[in-house]
A = this chain, B = another copy of it.
Amino acid sequence: MKKFISVKDLPSIEKAIETAFEIKKNPYGFQHLGKNKTMVLVFFNSSLRTRLSTQKAAMNMGMNTMVLNVTEDSWQLESEMGVVMDGKNAEHLREAIPVIGRYCDVIGVRAFAKFEDKEADYSERILTQFVDYAGVPVVSMEGATRHPLQSYADLVTIEEYKKVDRPKVVLTWAPHPRALPQAVANSFVEWMRETDYELVVTHPEGYELAPEFMGDVKVEYDQKKAFEGADFVYAKNWASYTHYGQILSKDFGWTVDEAKMALTNEAKFMHCLPVRRNVVVTDGVIDSPNSIVVEEAYNRQVTAQAVLKMILEG
């Protein structure tokens, strides 16, 4: 595997699942692969789980790690080509990326959507330059439009907890005080479409995800109807794609609560975290035995390590 930006980079979804469970059983069994190898984690945005789980994954593989917080540690970086750099950005990605690539064997990058320019975000301007200029494999730690490490962990978590071969998985929009990127939702849909699960997406009108991610996935605008018989409820807020980056609703009627969960087939509750309690989901739901958010978060480490294993094995 030469990079990990989307589900398409995997050798196969079966191999991905198999590798994850192999790692989960034997996390320290592959340290020879990482000996004298280094991963640099580049953060353009904040991170808790991704920061810790990816570092831990690399260390489990026997690798060294270095972390670069672009805003605090380094110069501000320019991403547009051909520009006269007499403003605030002191260095261009065109130099910074290949230089970082020379100091390591794998680069992880986090670069969120900025919601300033839909084109720039959906072309993954920063991530694409990393892939093009790094000279070493690049792992997305969440781009502007996808969060594949999260989706990989979500998939493995569903595989662990599913009670039927073809579970019903519901992705539900939920309210949030701030405008959040579509990356987690896009990516979740993209990954679920690679499985034979029954996938239903539910959200208020105006929150339709980008067609290239949704394809022919079913949208059910009635959240309660969507929840009926669900085996997994995956909650997530995102800002509007069509009215790009806007908040169209903060309707607490969409909060995932005990009454709605009662409509499901004792569904497991999932969320990528961080989650706003009593906004996205009630305390009652997230603190219930059916909440699997902590194990889901642990699987971030497992699948990050699986990604590194597949990369280090070439």
Contact = CB atoms under 8 A, between A and B. Distances in A.
Contact of A72 (B59, B72, B286): B72
Interface string A57-75: 0011000101011001111
A293 B154 CA distance: 42
Interface size class of A (residues with CB under 8 A): 35 or more
Q: How many copies does the complex hold?
A: 3
A193 interface: no
A96 interface: yes
Interface string A91-115: 1101110111011100000000000
Would you list the 7 A-B pairs with minimal beta carbon distance, nearest first?
A91-B274, A85-B276, A102-B298, A48-B74, A84-B278, A99-B297, A86-B177
Given A51-B68, A78-B277, 9 more contacts: A48-B96, A48-B100, A49-B99, A56-B104, A81-B283, A95-B274, A95-B286, A99-B297, A99-B298
Interface of A: 28, 36, 38, 40, 43, 46-49, 51-53, 55-56, 59-60, 64, 66, 68-69, 72-75, 78, 81-87, 90-92, 94-96, 98-100, 102-104, 177, 273-279, 283, 286-287, 293-295, 297-298, 301
14 contacts: A38-B59, A46-B74, A48-B96, A51-B74, A55-B66, A56-B64, A56-B103, A84-B278, A85-B277, A86-B279, A90-B274, A95-B273, A99-B298, A102-B301
